[in-house]
Amino acid sequence: MPYSKIEELPQDIKDRLPQHAQQIFVAAFNAAKSDGMIENDALEVAWNSVHNEFEPDSEGNWHRKPEDPAIHHKAVMSGGN
């Protein structure tokens, strides 16, 4: 079942993730469900989406990953003719 707001997330997810990560989780889960995925697959998509920007520390608290300037400031070069 899609979530209409982050407050509808299970309590264990709300306890583990910061608010922005919860928003990512809901958006990814809902998108996967609307694409016809079963719930377990949609949950996997949602967690993978959270993992793209956040990571858990040794105590299980989730924090935004540090930015990698080499990735975010790469010049795009085309090989065109």
In a domain, 71, yes or no: no
Residue 46's nearest CA partner among 8, 13, 72, 11 is: 13
**pLDDT for the residue numbered 5:** 92
Structure tokens belonging to residue 68: 């990698």
Please, which pLDDT band fits residue 42 given cuts at 50, 70 and 90?
very high
H or E element in which residue 62 lies = strand 62-64
Length of the chain: 81
In a domain, 36, yes or no: yes
H or E element in which residue 45 lies = helix 39-53
pLDDT averaged over the chain? 87
The domain total for the chain is 1
In a domain, 5, yes or no: no
Residue 1: CB atoms within 10 Å = 9
In a domain, 67, yes or no: no
What domain range includes position 26?
A: 12-54
Q: What is the pTM of this model?
A: 0.78
In a domain, 7, yes or no: no
**pLDDT for the residue numbered 20:** 96
**pLDDT for the residue numbered 76:** 57
